[in-house]
Amino acid sequence: MPHTLRRLVLALGSVAALSAPLLAAAQNPPAAPAAPVTPAVSAAPVPELARALPDFSALVELAGPAVVNIRTSERIKPGANAQLDEQMREFLRRFGIPVPPQRKGNPAPSPSPAPDDDDGDDESPQRRGLGSGFVIGADGYVMTNAHVVDEADEVMVTLTDKREFKAKVVGLDRRTDVAVLKIEATGLPMLRMGDVTRLKVGEWVMAIGSPFGFDNTVTAGIVSAKARDTGDLLPLIQTDVAINPGNSGGPLLNLRGEVVGINSQIYSQSGGFMGISFAIPIDEAMRVADQLRSNGRVTRGMLGVYPDDLSKEVAEAIGLGKAQGALVTRITAGGPGEKAGLELGDVITRFDGKTVEKAVDLRRLAAGTAPGSKVKLQVFRRGATKELTATLEALPDDRAAATPEPEAPATGGAQAWGLAVSELTDAQRKELKLPGGLKIESVDGPAARAGLRPGDLILSVNNTEIKTLKQFQALLAKVEKGKPLQMLVRRADAVTYVLLKPGKG
């Protein structure tokens, strides 16, 4: 047999040998197919997964009874089309936009008028609102947001056991959006206050409130950021906990069942929750609440200046180097700052031994200091550091400060200089309370692009105080070619630094 044929027969024989058992199995199948062998499934991973994620049920049982629902009503009188209705006011508040207080004699009409059941005046409609709060005193003290109860004629508090009480507004503070209520009840369940300094970004937190009127709704998430500068006097806690209208004033709790914040605002382009919400730190809120409970109002210190931030470019130009401190753009006549010797254009870098990184730091440090306190100020002025002492006065009550503080004009950021100036007369200097300075008569090209205007006053050039036109011309002559010119300019009652850069366009 040829060799090749012999190999083919052997190969076929091997195939036949392999297929014989298969054919036999096909002709005589077993009574029941054997079950496939698979590894045994352990029940251990399921509880492990459950333990890996937080279970909020025990926390809800613990904290839920101390969370309350708040309903408000405000009597509406006719002739108020210019005022905002409550829905729009709530919408603006939740964006963090300041909302002017309603005037009692001229509130807005309600889109859905409701009768006033208390005084029998059925023709008097009401504006109604919803919010949340939580018990901070077993004898009936409740904390919520100021904007929940502000301007309300009646405030009703409902407990989780369905008991309802008419609440008295002990006090509210618009600047921090904190309010304290009092109901006639005792033995109420209370929440423990947490330590905000121990709160960590990424930590699980939970909110309880009444979004859209759904009582005792629980939502959870994590801390997204701490000390977010969206508030005026308070840095806020940012979370991704779902917060909606009606959640305002409810507690933000950590996994130990402690309150770490009061849910207050959201960032939204639609008016609804979009993944970013803000809470007032509970330590700051409790300081405010203690004053409200004791005095019905909050007393804060005031330096009497209007601070602004410095850009890195300006800080380098004036010789400060690092962009830190609060630029004094306005000084209240006869106020603590003026009495201490502060001048327009000063940069306050330290307040009572604490570093001032930006303008908001100065406002918060002054507000957190008791009126009458003497504080040391470290000031950067025309290239040198000075030490001043100021005695703080009381900041006016927030109810009398509904209008926003005037803003300083923006720093010009253009290309070069081109000015026509004149010296101030003795009478003008006396009227303006200035030792010197030059008045800008006209601007053209570079100066106009830098943002300067006729009527602006030049107070200093490259940290040198200006008194005469001759001095001004001498300083311009010394500026190196290609170098920017830094000036302190006064417009109306405010000052700012302006950088003029050489070049065309």
Determine the Cα–Cα distance for residues 383 and 462; give it in Å rounded to an integer: 9
Identified catalytic residue from 177, 308, 361, 398: 177
What lies within 8 Å, CB to CB, of 112 at 6+ separation is: none
Identified catalytic residue from 132, 210, 224, 248: 248
Is 3 assigned a catalytic role?
A: no
Cβ distance 329 to 494 under 8 Å? yes
Determine the Cα–Cα distance for residues 314 and 462; give it in Å rounded to an integer: 11
CB contact burial 32-50 (16+ within 10 A = b; e otherwise): eeeeeeeeeeeeeeeeeee
Alpha helices in 2-110 (DSSP H): 3-27, 45-52, 57-63, 86-94
User: The tokens of 11 are what?
Assistant: 């190969």
**Residue 70, SS3?**
strand
**Ordered DSSP codes for 395-429:** PPPGGG--SPPPPPPPPPB-S---EEEEEPPHHHH
Determine the Cα–Cα distance for residues 294 and 50; give it in Å rounded to an integer: 46
**Ordered DSSP codes for 202-213:** T-EEEEEE-GGG
Determine the Cα–Cα distance for residues 274 and 224; give it in Å rounded to an integer: 13
For the chain, give the number of residues.
505
Identified catalytic residue from 116, 132, 147, 210: 147
Is 147 assigned a catalytic role?
A: yes
**Neighbouring-strand partners of residue 127:** 74
Is 422 assigned a catalytic role?
A: no
Determine the Cα–Cα distance for residues 164 and 158; give it in Å rounded to an integer: 4
Determine the Cα–Cα distance for residues 278 and 172; give it in Å rounded to an integer: 19
**Residue 308, SS3?**
strand
**Neighbouring-strand partners of residue 275:** none
> At residue 488, what is the residue type?
L
Determine the Cα–Cα distance for residues 114 and 85; give it in Å rounded to an integer: 14
For residue 183, the Cα-to-chain-centroid distance in whole angstroms is 30
8-state DSSP, 196: G
| Residues recognised as catalytic | 147, 177, 248
